[in-house]
Amino acid sequence: MDNVSLALMCVAALLATAVLGVLVRRSAAASGLVYSLCLILSLAILAVAASQLLGGAGATEITRLPIGLPWVGANFRLDPLSSFFLVVIDLGAAAASLYALGYGRHEDAPERILPFYPAFLAGMNLVLLAADAFSFLVAWEFMSLTSWALVMAHHRDPENRRAGYIYLVMASFGTLALLLAFGLLAGPAGGYGFADMRVAVHAAWLPGLVLILALLGAGSKAGLVPLHVWLPLAHPAAPSHVSALMSGVMTKVAIYGFVRIVFDLLGAPVWWWSILVLGLGAVTVVLGVLQAVLQRDLKRLLAYSTVENIGIIFIGLGLALAFQANGMTGAAALSFTAALLHIFNHSLFKGLLFFGAGAVLNGTGERDIEKLGGLIRTMPQTAFLVLGGCLAISALPPLNGFVSEWLIFQAILVSPDLPQWGLKLVIPAVGALLALGAALSAACYVRAFGIGFLGRPRSPAASSAHEADRLSLAAMFMLLGLCVLAGILPGFLIDAVAPAVREAVGHAMPAQASLPWLSIVPVAESRSSYNGLLIFAFIVIATLLTVKSIHRLASRAMRRGPAWDCGYPEPSPLTQYTADSFAQPLRRVFGEFFLAREKVTMPKPEDPLPARLEVRLRDLAWDMIYFPIERTVALAGEKFNALQFLTIRRYLGLVFAALVSLLLVVAIWA
Amino acid sequence: MDRFVLDFAHTLAGFMVLVSFMLLYQDRMFSLLNVFALQALVLAASVAWQAHVQDAPHLYVTALIALVLKAIIIPIVLHRVVVRLGIHRNIETVGGIGLTMLFGMGLVALSMVVMLRATAAADPLAREDLAFALSVVLLGLLMMVTRRNAVSQIIGFMSLENGLILAATGAKGMPLVVEISVAFSVLVALIVIGVFLFRIRERFDSVDVHALDESRGERQ
């Protein structure tokens, strides 16, 4: 049996698990049963996809099922690109299922999650397997709807209902854009198979329009600014393992849609496309991370950070487009590899961090980091894991986040060789914004970890926190281990994704595994090289030596005295540095992006009221795009409401007028 | 094709357009019905000519249906309805006849432009017939929009349907089954509308659709 059929059978088994989830939803063992089946099936698809990717066959097998459009059927295909994304998705899904085996036990309404969770996994896998526009869109919509159902799992909270509504609207908009893109690609002949689209010859104006539609469609799912507004609402609303999937994995499915359309189906790129992609990516990075720095809700902070990372990935893709359009295949392969590595890395550490947030939520019942603090003592293992995730996402060597961002910067450094002045000027600016984003991201996670896990507990809930269960911890340890491995052995990873890169941009980076000492050399040895293993070894040895020498050289004489109280003799936890105070300098500097307004209420000297500081932040995307659209739609609805109460003659007149004006159009333009 | 065949077909179709114009300005019920019967008669003749030219015997059936149903039965039934409703002496105010006629001419010109251009490659017999047929349809619709009396609106609807039949027969005919079912649906429409007319009348003491609007509390 070929690999596609194997993968499809696993997907069918996932759908059967969803049905099983409906049947057994009320029994006590239901959650364990469903999540273990999901774990096994994700691992199975992972194995299939990995064997396809690493097998080097690159074989593209097509399985055609007699469902769907009659003259197209439902085509499924497994090529290196979809195999790579399948590996990312099912690795994340396996980790989430393992985590949910422990975490899902605390769920108060499992019947709202169990049927949809396997269906959601099946939908994501089907998107990646689809080889025609119809199956793709059906799977895409299925994925959207099942994830919407998961967002609505805790539907009693009005905030969640609003999040679900906005998510549904944005998802429909995205699907509409993709539908139009595929319609344009299929052309009037209706060649909806991807194989037909690849060979189709398009009019000159068409590819640019398809690119914009793909950016809108995939971007609204992935969270490109300004289409990101649903993401920080919907991702935190879901249960934590689903948040991890939506943030870490589903956004990658959206990127897969973009890559499939733009790099595979659309043919040779034009250089100005990259400016569009790069610009959106850079704006997404900066606005996403600035929002993340200012958030108090841990899960919302992580969701905004996802927006930032999506921006980084799009910058990588935009660079690949720029180089590809100018025939610089080596640099294009470098940027595309960097984007793929960041996709892989982000799915690892974002999953880890969301699991950590779930463990904190479970242990304390709080998501507000102002009410946490001191968790490193009550939840030591979770704290260690989250710290690892924070280091990785802040792109500190030797962890994996550094490798992919470093590769993107290497690609940016090649950009002066590009012939177009537009690109020569834009790409360094994008690089500067990316650097800003990386620094702010580090600040963001220093704040999240420092306020959340260090210091003294800021609320009774935080002081009575309990450690996460063993299975959840196992899932997190697995992800952290993979983060470290991917960080110190990036060469193997680069070689592993090479077939996918070759498929997308026609060229791959030179093989890295054969280089001495497991270094990676993206362009040439004289320019730059990186050795994660060396840095790891250096850090370990230096740490051991320091500890050893301190223990050896330090005096053993002991003196007991009062601890320094930092100038605050009052031991209240309220005197600690808070998350808002940490973010205040950044808020002052970048506040105009959010129309930040601070209001200080100082009571009169004899007044016993407490002083208050109120900070109001706004998302410009809402103010400048969505609220005006909402107002326009409401206004138009109000105006057209009158149409419901016309007289018969006026209705006839309207029909008549419509007919005559259409005929006039035909007469004038046809 | 023989010139005479073409010319005669066009004459008949053109005559239908002319009768449609005549329908537009009839302000008395009986003359309206008579003109409608005349249009059905011309339609029957036109369809019969098409049957002869195209050598399609089933079109004779269509012509016969048009003759019996539209030129005889429907006018007679409507005639009796009008008498029973007691509106046969009413003069319907058809506002702005000159303007309506001018608009109608514009519609004919429009349908000529659209149809002749859209069917450049088609059979010349069908081509101009289609243009005339579209004119008849548009004029029927125009009549439905400009009239306020329910009976006149029915006439407009029926004349619109005549235009459709003309188009269908010109374009090498449609299957007889379709033609018969359309004819019967018109008949059913007549019955239903007839019943409704009496119900409306019973309730509002008028068949002016204006009364309906007033009862819904609408401003005109």
Per the document, the length of chain A is 670
Would A599 be classed as within a structural domain?
A: yes
In this structure, the answer to whether residues A99 and A180 fall within a common structural domain is yes
Chain A within 8 Å of B213 (Cβ-Cβ)? yes
Asked if omega into A226 is within 30° of 0 (cis), the reply is yes
Residue of chain A whose alpha carbon sits nearest to that of B119: A670
Give bridge partners of residue A132 from the DSSP assignment.
A193
Distance CA A11, CA A25 (A): 20
Distance CA A291, CA B185 (A): 65
Q: What angle do CA A407, A124, A340 make, to 5 degrees?
A: 10
With CA atoms as reference, report the closest residue to B143 among B184, B181, B95.
B95
In this structure, the answer to whether residues A607 and A626 fall within a common structural domain is no
Chain A within 8 Å of B111 (Cβ-Cβ)? yes
3-state secondary structure of A202: coil
* Mean pLDDT within A206-228: 92
In this structure, the answer to whether residues A152 and A170 fall within a common structural domain is yes
The torsion of the CA quartet A395, A399, A403, A408, rounded to 10 degrees, works out to -20
3-state secondary structure of A549: helix
H/E stretch holding A629 reads helix A627-641
**Cβ neighbours around A454 below 10 Å, total:** 17
What ipTM score was computed for the predicted complex, to two decimals? 0.83
User: A649, B107: Cβ pair inside 8 Å?
Assistant: no
pLDDT of residue A363 exceeding 70: yes
User: What's the number of domains chain A is made of?
Assistant: 3
Q: What is the pLDDT of residue B94?
A: 63
Question: CB–CB of A530/A406 below 8 Å?
Answer: yes
H/E stretch holding A409 reads helix A400-414
In this structure, the answer to whether residues A52 and A123 fall within a common structural domain is yes
* Mean pLDDT within B174-199: 71
User: A666, B218: Cβ pair inside 8 Å?
Assistant: no
Residue of chain B whose alpha carbon sits nearest to that of A651: B145
Would A476 be classed as within a structural domain?
A: no
In this structure, the answer to whether residues A582 and A652 fall within a common structural domain is no
Would A291 be classed as within a structural domain?
A: no
In this structure, the answer to whether residues A593 and A659 fall within a common structural domain is no
Of A350 and B129, the one with more pLDDT:
A350
* Mean pLDDT within B185-202: 73
Give residue-wise pLDDT tens across range A47-99.
999 988 887 665 566 777 777 777 778 888 888 999 999 999 999 999 999 99
In this structure, the answer to whether residues A181 and A244 fall within a common structural domain is yes
End-to-end CA distance of chain A: 54
Question: CB–CB of A88/A135 below 8 Å?
Answer: no
Distance CA A229, CA A630 (A): 14
In this structure, the answer to whether residues A57 and A118 fall within a common structural domain is yes
In this structure, the answer to whether residues A598 and A657 fall within a common structural domain is no
In this structure, the answer to whether residues A662 and A632 fall within a common structural domain is yes
Give residue-wise pLDDT tens across range B99-128.
889 999 999 999 988 888 877 777 776 777
Confidence class for position B171, pLDDT limits 50, 70, 90:
low
At residue A539, what is the residue type? Answer: I
* Mean pLDDT within A370-376: 89
Give bridge partners of residue A613 from the DSSP assignment.
A600
With CA atoms as reference, report the closest residue to B90 among B148, B40, B155, B23.
B148
In this structure, the answer to whether residues A593 and A640 fall within a common structural domain is no
Q: What is the pLDDT of residue A592?
A: 79
In this structure, the answer to whether residues A651 and A612 fall within a common structural domain is no
pLDDT of residue A334 exceeding 90: yes
Q: Which residues of A touch B (CB under 8 A)?
A: 645, 647-649, 652-653, 655-656, 659-660, 663-664, 666-667, 670
H/E stretch holding B132 reads helix B124-146
Would A382 be classed as within a structural domain?
A: no
pLDDT of residue B185 exceeding 80: no
Q: What is the pLDDT of residue B219?
A: 47
Q: What is the mean pLDDT of chain A?
A: 89
Would A465 be classed as within a structural domain?
A: no
Contacts 24+ apart (CB under 8 A), A379-383: A379/A453, A379/A465, A379/A466, A379/A467, A379/A468, A380/A467, A381/A467, A381/A468, A381/A473, A382/A356, A382/A467, A382/A468, A382/A473, A382/A476, A383/A453
Chain A within 8 Å of B148 (Cβ-Cβ)? yes
Q: With beta carbons under 8 A apart, name residues in chain A contacting B141.
A: 652, 655-656, 659
Q: What is the pLDDT of residue B95?
A: 67
Mutant choice from A644, A655, A656, A659 vs B, greatest count of B C-beta within 10 A:
A656
Range(s) of the domain holding residue A651: 622-669
CA distance A656 to chain B (A): 7
User: A663, B117: Cβ pair inside 8 Å?
Assistant: no
With CA atoms as reference, report the closest residue to B12 among B66, B87, B78.
B66
Q: What is the pLDDT of residue A345?
A: 96
